[in-house]
Structure formats: structure tokens, C-alpha cells
Amino acid sequence: MKSVIELEKISYTWPGSDRAALNIDSWKLLEGERVFLYGASGSGKSTLLNLLAGILQPQQGCVRVLGQELGQMGARARDGFRARNMGFIFQQFNLLPYLTVEMNIQLALYFGRSAEKNIRHSIEELMQQLSLPVDLLNRQACQLSVGQQQRVAMVRALISHPQIIIADEPTSALDSDSRDEFIELLLKCASVNQSSVVFVSHDVTLANHFDKRININDINSAQVTDHVV
């Protein structure tokens, strides 16, 4: 099967640190695959997602997304590429609090320079699928409940039909019923476009929603070395 992300001999060290946070020899995300990535706090999960997104550049190795090497692109090209091909949902601070819900969603399209017509209609359709009343579009994001804000973040991540969806602990602020519902909604929407999903959490009870589970320590040899030294 085709891979949408390929990592090769990656090493990343945070500025000011004397040891690598990540060393990954090789890892692939396949087309349509839904991966649950788990591991203790500080094990490098968010660092890895930042590398996949091209927000951070590895000091060694290469990150290929949809056949293109991120390190070969200029910063602007990389930003546009990310906005067109990847949807992100984070644990918190997903939305700009004083902008309306609609402006928050439109921002994702602006960065991707989307030429899609009738965006308002697409936004309303997604809102309805996620049980978000359409009149929330005119509210400031900070006036919504946390659960609603996370679903708006999902709308924003999905609106450009990205091939890759990356979620970094997006359910941490939700109660356990809402967590399962959120994940099921996300996977349902992802399956419409056959999008690949990398979902990060330290809560392994969520793993059964996914095709594949990866403990980051099994791919990140930096952590192993740390323990030995």
C-alpha cells in the first residue's frame, strides 16, 4: 500500500538540549491508515507530530509527505503545503478566542489558499454532521463549551479535505463519553476522504478505536539510549 508519510533516519534535538529527543530509523504512515500513538508524557509524541508537519526540521534525516521532502521546501511553500494537505487538532488553544467560529474555520482555508466555492455551505454541512448548531458560527469561540470548541477544531481540520489528519491529545479536556464520541466522529469524517489519521494520546483506553497502535518507545530509540546512559 502507498505511504503518505515516510521518515528516514531522523534525529531531532531541541535547541539548548545536549541529547536528542527523537531518533527514528524508519517509520511509515500508509494511505487510509488510522494510527493510535501513545507513550508517557515527555516521550516525544508532540515533537514527532511537529516534525511530520514540517513545523520543526530534523537535524538529520528526511521527512517525506505525499512523496515530497519537507526539508527541500522553503518555509512559505511548506506552510502552504501543510495547510492544503494536513488537518490538525490540538489538546487546547485550538481556536482564536475573540474571533467568531466562522472566522476561525475560514483561517484554515486562507492559509491553504483554497479556491473552493461555496465554502459556507461546506462548513454548515460539516457543522451539522458534528451536531453543532449553525448559529454558533457567529459567536466568539470563547463563548462555546470546551466540547463544542473541540468539534469546531475538527471542522477546521477537515474543511480542506486533508489527506492526513493529525490530532495531539485532542480529547484530554473532554469527559470519557464525549471522548469516544469525538473519536468516532473524527474517524467517520476521515473515512469520507480516505484520510490517514495519527491520533496521539497517553490514554490507552482509547486505542481500540484504531487499526494500529504504536508505542513511541518502540520507534524512538533516543529514549532507550537515555535510560542506558
Q: How many other CB atoms are there within 10 angstroms of residue 224's CB atom? A: 12
* Stretch in the footprint of ligand ADP (CB under 6 A) among 44-52, 81-89, 147-155, 157-165: 44-52
CA atoms of 105 and 86, how far apart (whole Å): 14
Question: Which residues neighbour 141 within 8 Å (Cβ) at sequence distance 6 or greater?
Answer: 95, 96, 97, 98, 99, 100, 101, 104, 149, 152
Place of cell 527541500: 72
The answer to whether 46 contacts ligand ADP (rule: CB under 6 A) is: yes
CA distance 133 to 129: 10
Residues contacting residue 86 through CB under 8 Å, at least 6 positions apart: 53, 65, 162, 163, 164, 165, 166
Q: Shortest approach of ligand ADP to residue 223 CB, angstroms?
A: 9
Q: Give the binding range for ligand ADP (CB under 6 A) out of 34-42, 77-85, 101-109, 137-145.
A: 34-42
Rule CB under 6 A: choose which of 23, 27, 29, 39 binds ligand ADP.
39
Residue with cell 482564536: 96
Shortest Cβ 13–ligand ADP spacing (Å): 9
42 binds ligand ADP (CB under 6 A): yes
What number of chain residues touch ligand ADP (CB under 6 A)? 11
Which does residue 14 bind out of ligand ADP, Mg ion, none, counting CB within 5 to 8 angstroms by kind?
ligand ADP
Position 47 contacts ligand ADP (CB under 6 A): yes
**Minimal distance in Å, beta carbon 221 to ligand ADP?**
14
Contact predicate 198/35, CB 8 Å:
yes
Q: Which 12-71 residues touch Mg ion, going by CB under 5 A? A: 45-46
178 binds, among Mg ion, ligand ADP, none (CB under 5 to 8 A by kind): none
Residue 112 phi/psi, 5-degree rounding, is -85, 0
Based on the number of CB atoms within 10 Å of its own CB, is 26 exposed (0-12), middle (13-18) or buried (19 or more)?
A: exposed
Return the residue nearest Mg ion (CB atom). 46
Nearer to ligand ADP, 45 or 179 (CB): 45
The three-state secondary structure class of 71 is helix
**Shorter beta-carbon distance to Mg ion: residue 102 or 169:** 169
Residue placing its CB nearer to Mg ion in the complex, 50 or 221: 50
Contact call for residue 98 and ligand ADP (CB under 6 A): no
Q: Which residues bind ligand ADP (CB under 6 A)?
A: 14, 17, 21, 39, 41-47
